């Protein structure tokens, strides 16, 4: 395992819903869920304060359904409810290993989780609890990238970690083009200019405006979250100045 101090003290971890599927075609793979929870528990022992945003694409994709004829706002609200389901599943996996966790939803549903209250979320982080932000922004026409960026800024995070199935940002999709090259570092403007689809343009711009670096890495590899936090492993850092990373 890596030695030395972590590069960041408070992070927001953005995990796509598709990651939770594991090798399945739909839903939640419990082994993958437990592996993600174990990685989070590992970094908490280093004193890291961590909050999360999880997508819902493993259960329902609002944009995809809207493209098939469903009314867009209704489809997006259904997608937001899928993120709540994923958040509750991860909360259960984390608490099973002794990690105190709170789910806060942008759509109030007090029977199953807390409403999103910024000061309460900050207090949870200060007490060492993991906070999972669900239901996006509570409004349609946004993917989970924008709420992830917004919550990272609101929580005063040092970095936004995007855990994906790929170990960084490439010149092209490495699954389709084996010769694609991985970037070690990039600037926000380079990502926007090359239209690399790392995150939504609004999320990239929000991170740029607040000076919060984005770290893209593969969360499918066990222990990788901690390695990347310590500057080891394979990842891409997106920040204002390439050298600042």
Encoded tokens for 127 = 């007490």
Rg of the chain in Å (alpha carbons): 17
- If you search the block for the tokens 């007490």, which residue do you land on? 127
- Residue 54 to residue 5: CA distance in whole angstroms: 27
Using DSSP bridges, classify how beta strands 114-115 and 169-170 pair: parallel, antiparallel or unpaired: unpaired
Q: Buried b vs exposed e over 184-204: b needs ≥16 C-beta within 10 Å?
A: ebbbbeebeeeebebbbeebb
Which fold is adopted by the domain 10-244? Carbamate kinase (3.40.1160)
Query: Is 64 in a helix, a strand, or coil?
Result: helix
Model confidence, pTM: 0.92
Domain ranges of the chain: 10-244
User: What pLDDT is stored for residue 64 in this prediction?
Assistant: 72
Print pLDDT tens along the chain (245 aa). 565 789 999 999 999 999 999 888 889 999 999 999 999 999 999 999 999 999 999 998 766 777 777 889 999 999 999 999 999 999 999 999 999 999 999 999 999 999 999 999 999 999 999 999 999 999 999 889 999 999 999 999 999 999 998 899 998 888 888 888 999 999 999 999 998 888 999 999 999 999 999 999 999 989 999 999 999 989 999 998 654 44
In 3D space, the residue among 36, 46, 39, 38 whose CA is nearest the CA of residue 9 turns out to be 46
User: What pLDDT is stored for residue 174 in this prediction?
Assistant: 83
């Amino acid at each position: 395992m890596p030695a030395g101090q972590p590069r960041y003290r408070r992070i927001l971890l953005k995990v796509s819903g598709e990651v939770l599927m594991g090798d399945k075609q739909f839903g939640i793979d419990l082994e993958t869920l437990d592996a993600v929870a174990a990685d989070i528990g590992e970094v908490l022992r280093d004193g890291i304060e961590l909050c999360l945003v999880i997508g819902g694409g493993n259960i329902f994709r609002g944009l995809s359904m809207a493209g098939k004829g469903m009314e867009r706002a209704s489809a997006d609200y259904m997608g937001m409810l899928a993120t709540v389901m994923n958040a509750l599943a991860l909360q259960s996996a984390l608490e099973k290993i002794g990690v105190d966790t709170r789910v806060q939803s942008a759509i109030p549903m007090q029977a199953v989780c807390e409403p999103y209250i910024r000061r309460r979320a900050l207090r949870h982080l200060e007490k060492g609890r993991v906070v999972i932000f669900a239901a996006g922004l509570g409004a349609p026409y946004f993917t989970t990238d924008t709420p992830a960026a917004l919550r990272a800024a609101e929580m005063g995070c040092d970095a936004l970690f995007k855990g994906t199935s790929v170990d960084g940002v490439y010149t092209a999709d490495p699954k389709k083009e084996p010769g694609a090259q991985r970037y070690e570092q990039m600037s926000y403007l380079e990502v926007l200019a090359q239209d690399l689809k790392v995150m939504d343009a609004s999320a990239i711009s929000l991170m740029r405006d607040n000076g919060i670096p984005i770290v893209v890495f593969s969360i499918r590899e066990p222990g990788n979250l901690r390695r990347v936090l310590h500057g080891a492993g394979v990842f891409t850092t997106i920040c204002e100045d390439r050298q600042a990373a």
